[in-house]
Amino acid sequence: MHEIAREYAVSIVDLDRPELQEAVAADPAAFVAGSAPVCIDEFQKVPIVLDAIKAELNSDLQTGRFLITGSTRFDALPQAAQALTGRAHIVRLLPFSQGEIDGVEEDFVRVAIEDPSLLLPQLTAL
């Protein structure tokens, strides 16, 4: 996430910080209305932020507007599972990719922003 924020010159809404938790809980719409991508880390700390994202996406469903990360499985939170149904692509990341282990340069961040559909499992016809 930090690499994306640097590349696109945007800040990260870090919900590990108690003062940001309070501010986002008080006015979640203000924190999701920025220019894309809006980067939110530890979303599970203030799950109401997902409703604000849903409202934004209802008016503009442009791909890549939000990058939401957390240390909790997205589908483990009942509110999360309902809030962004049909609006989110979930990519589960392991701590290290095989490329990182092998010391090979990867382009995950570029692909995640430019064509996130490439990160989704491909369906094969039967």
> Which amino acid does the sequence have at 33?
A
82 lies in which domain range? 2-94+103-113
Contact 33, 10 (CB under 8 A): no
Q: Is residue 125 part of a domain?
A: no
106: pLDDT strictly greater than 70: yes
Query: How high is the mean pLDDT of the chain?
Result: 80
45: pLDDT strictly greater than 80: yes
When pLDDT is averaged across residues 102-109 and rounded to a whole number, the result is: 77
- How is residue 31 written in tokens? 């924190």
In percent, the amount of the chain with pLDDT more than 70 equals 79
Between CA 71 and CA 62 the distance in angstroms is 25
What pTM was estimated for this model as a whole?
0.68
Task: State whether the Cα torsion 91-92-95-99 is positive or negative.
Answer: negative
Query: How many domains does the chain contain in total?
Result: 1
Q: Is residue 59 part of a domain?
A: yes
- How is residue 23 written in tokens? 């501010």
Where helices occur in the chain by DSSP H, the ranges are 2-7, 18-26, 28-32, 49-59, 78-83, 98-102, 108-114
pLDDT tens-place string over residues 66-78:
888 888 776 676 6
Q: Is residue 60 part of a domain?
A: yes
Nearest to 36 by CA among 50, 49, 53: 53
Contacts of 37 (CB under 8 A, 6+ apart): 4, 8, 10, 64, 65, 66, 67, 113
Q: Is residue 119 part of a domain?
A: no
Distance of CA 126 to the CA centre of its chain: 32
Q: Is residue 122 part of a domain?
A: no
